[in-house]
Amino acid sequence: MVEISTTVGRLKLQNPTMLASGILGDSGDSLLRVARSGAGAVVTKSIGREPREGNPSPSLVELEHGLLNGIGLANPGIDNYRAEVEVALQGDVPVIGSVFAEDVEFYGPLARTMEVYGVQALELNLSCPHAEGLEEIAGDADLISQVTAEVKSAVKVPVFVKLSPNVRDIALLAQAAEEAGGDGIIAINTVKAMSILPEVAKPVLGQTMGGLSGPAIKPVGVRCVYQIYEAVDIPLVGVGGVANGLDAVEYIMAGARAVQIGSGIHYRGLEVFEAVCREIEAFMEEHGYRRLEEMVGIAHE
């Protein structure tokens, strides 16, 4: 019998899978469905200060090897989100509140409100590639440090910093988050990308550029986790292209203690969480691993 429970700092998970932010996180009911489908934790949609409609349609397109979205952080606003968190908390797995802001000074109050609503941890979205304001924060170590420190001073729950791959040195940014008191790193957010429809000679997305997720970005995510693992001592969560157990194992061997699944739901449905866990267990049994911990970062040895 193998053991796939894990910890991400102070957060204890029955299994290493999490729902990624931005997928089925609009409502408490959808978060609850995911929790009851086998996810070890769920992450809310990124919530801001005010309701936000997002970018013009079309805002999501399926490409050959992934999904391209330019949704633009559409959300109901923090004042309208309490009831959704309360419903999600009925799922008996940790609920992680994701927050974003166009200005650094607003992260602290947003995080504090999420904590009051009952979330067990915070995820700081500092890296959405199709939302105004966040691209500037994503590549600036000083701003990442400032946001992280402000949120840490405002809340008592663990604070995880979600980083962008669209930067020169992601490990340096992870170090900035760690030095400012961050409890963990989430890597990665979507890869900035675009697609053109040749028949009409126009970009597919209404906003022209968006974020690429799915199988195409998994090698990028694994590389980023590998680099960050060698640069920091705080725990990592891998994101990007996880749709089966071997995808998760790659991230874990690169240094992640858990993985988030988003686009994988598109390809395998809500069954993806239980399926990934079964496939991780099968791999561990075949290769002689008894605890998930034994695989974390083993690719560095």
Catalytic residue among 122, 128, 137, 242: 128
Task: Answer yes or no: is 142 within a domain.
Answer: yes
Name the domain count of the chain: 1
Q: Tell me how far apart the alpha carbons of residues 224 and 254 are, in angstroms, rounded to a whole number.
A: 9
CB within 8 A of 42, min separation 6: which ones?
Answer: 18, 19, 25, 31, 34, 35, 88, 91, 93, 94, 95, 96
Task: Answer yes or no: is 57 within a domain.
Answer: no
Q: What is the pLDDT of residue 71?
A: 87
Task: Answer yes or no: is 1 within a domain.
Answer: no
Q: Tell me how far apart the alpha carbons of residues 141 and 139 are, in angstroms, rounded to a whole number.
A: 6
What percent of the chain is predicted at pLDDT more than 70?
A: 98
The pTM of the full predicted model, rounded to 2 decimals, is 0.96
| Average pLDDT of the segment spanning 64-84 | 94
Give residue-wise pLDDT tens across range 205-233.
Answer: 998 999 999 999 999 999 999 999 999 99
Nearest 5°: the CA angle 218, 220, 222 is 70
Task: Answer yes or no: is 284 within a domain.
Answer: yes
What percent of the chain is predicted at pLDDT more than 90?
A: 88
**Domain extent for 185:** 6-50+73-189+213-300
Q: What is the pLDDT of residue 196?
A: 97
What is the per-residue burial (b if ≥16 Cβ within 10 Å, else e) of 180-207? bebbbbbbbbbbbbeeeeeeeeebbbeb
Phi, psi of 126 (to 5 degrees): -110, 20
CATH number at residue 283: 3.20.20.70
Q: Tell me how far apart the alpha carbons of residues 204 and 195 are, in angstroms, rounded to a whole number.
A: 6
Q: State the DSSP code for 44.
A: P
128 catalytic residue (yes or no):
yes
| Average pLDDT of the segment spanning 278-298 | 98
Asked if pLDDT for residue 195 goes beyond 60, the answer is yes
CB of 268 closer than 8 Å to CB of 275: yes
Asked if pLDDT for residue 272 goes beyond 90, the answer is yes
Write out the H or E segment, with its range, that includes residue 184.
strand 184-187
Task: Answer yes or no: is 62 within a domain.
Answer: no
Task: Answer yes or no: is 174 within a domain.
Answer: yes
| Average pLDDT of the segment spanning 83-104 | 96
Give residue-wise pLDDT tens across range 55-65.
Answer: 888 889 999 99
With CA atoms as reference, report the closest residue to 256 among 241, 244, 239. Answer: 239
Task: Answer yes or no: is 206 within a domain.
Answer: no
Task: Answer yes or no: is 79 within a domain.
Answer: yes
Give residue-wise pLDDT tens across range 109-146.
Answer: 999 999 999 999 999 999 776 565 577 788 999 999 99
**CA distances from residue 114 to 88, 95, 96, 179 in whole angstroms, order as listed:** 13, 10, 9, 23
Least confident piece of the model among 9-18, 101-110, 233-242, 274-283: 101-110
230 exposed, middle or buried (CB, 10 Å; 0-12, 13-18, 19+)? exposed
| Average pLDDT of the segment spanning 37-52 | 96
